[in-house]
Amino acid sequence: MNIIEKAYLLINEPVDPHLKCPLEIADIVNFVEAEPGEDVVYFASTAQDRGDTTIISADAAGSLTYAKIPLKSTTTLSFSGLQSNLETVLLDEIVNSKDQLALAAKKDGIIRNMDNIEKKNILSLVLAASSQEVTKASGEDLLDVITKMKQKVSDYATDYILLVASDVMNKIETYDKDNVDNFNYKMSIMEEITKLGIKKVVKIVGEDGSGNKILADGIAILVGRESSITNNGRPLTLVRRKFTKEIAEFSGAKEGASRLVNIAQIPVIVNSSGRNTLGYGVYGYESVVQVLTNLRAVSFCNNIIS
């Protein structure tokens, strides 16, 4: 690592694909943990074949920011705090319950919710790249559109992952049977998808913290994980900031952790049903950057099974 690289975290280069992040997006994002105080900088290299490059970033609440960056220049990306609601488990409920794992269950629920918000924000970055939308034309079926999505990115990326809403996955699973009378030769949709270079089909389920589906009905997203025009590997990057030793010790997190999910050490007074009672607070926090750095390596369709 040279002296410039020590000054900031440069995200337009390959990273270890085995680092932790939500399972459903693990195959499509570069996951990085930034050191405390470290800047995250995007570099637009001359390997990219346009006069400038457009990146889209999402803050923790899902608001999107677009930036055009000239080649051979950098921009510093801003961290945003992703904080869960403060959940409370009443002391009275714990001591009188046969289930003594209520606090652990609440903690697990917060982790799932924070993962879901990360997934929602990452996929929203792709859906905001309007130039990469593929529309379903009259007479086209599911496989036709998936082929068009692959062709949309094939000049710029390979090694594809297809992410689909639950209803789209249902249609993929029944495609062969639904079309058995129409086939003029032996064909399986999964075999055809594999021939296109799509390595995996991932079903996206669940809701974000506002009750919205992580991926709405009828949507499919294709991500090319190897780019032919840049050296940054996957087109999406998720960065979490590590906590300092002092903050980790004060908050109950492990030193070097990048996500805090804390159960209060002592119960606090909670107003419940018009009276004060004691309860344990449970909450989560992380500082995060989520960015799409290579629009041409992604495509999507909003109505693939309509």
For the segment 52-79, the average pLDDT, to the nearest whole number, is 81
Residue-range definition of the domain harbouring residue 93 = 3-301
172 within some domain: yes
- 112-128 confidence digits (pLDDT tens): 999 999 999 999 999 99
> Band of the pLDDT at 55, cuts 50, 70, 90?
confident
290 within some domain: yes
- 126-173 confidence digits (pLDDT tens): 999 999 999 999 999 999 999 999 999 999 899 999 999 999 999 999
Q: How many helices (H) and strands (E) does the chain have?
A: 7, 16
306 within some domain: no
The pLDDT score that the predictor gives to residue 158 is 92
**SS3 labels along 173-237:** HHHHHHCCCCCCCCCCHHHHHHHCCEEEEEEECCECCCCCECCCCCCEEEEEEEECCCCCCCCEE
pLDDT of 5 > 80? The answer is: no
Q: Is 40 helix (H, G, I), strand (E, B) or coil?
A: strand
d(C-alpha 119, C-alpha 21), whole Å:
9
174 within some domain: yes
The pLDDT score that the predictor gives to residue 128 is 96
194 within some domain: yes
Domain count for the chain, please give it. 1
Q: Is 46 helix (H, G, I), strand (E, B) or coil?
A: coil
Per-position DSSP letters for 107-152, written without gaps between them: HHHHHHHHHHHHHHHHHHHHHT-GGGB-PPPTT--HHHHHHHHHHH
The pLDDT score that the predictor gives to residue 272 is 65
The pLDDT score that the predictor gives to residue 4 is 37
- 215-236 confidence digits (pLDDT tens): 999 999 999 998 765 555 799 9
pLDDT of 18 > 80? The answer is: no
What's the gap between Cα 155 and its chain centre? 24
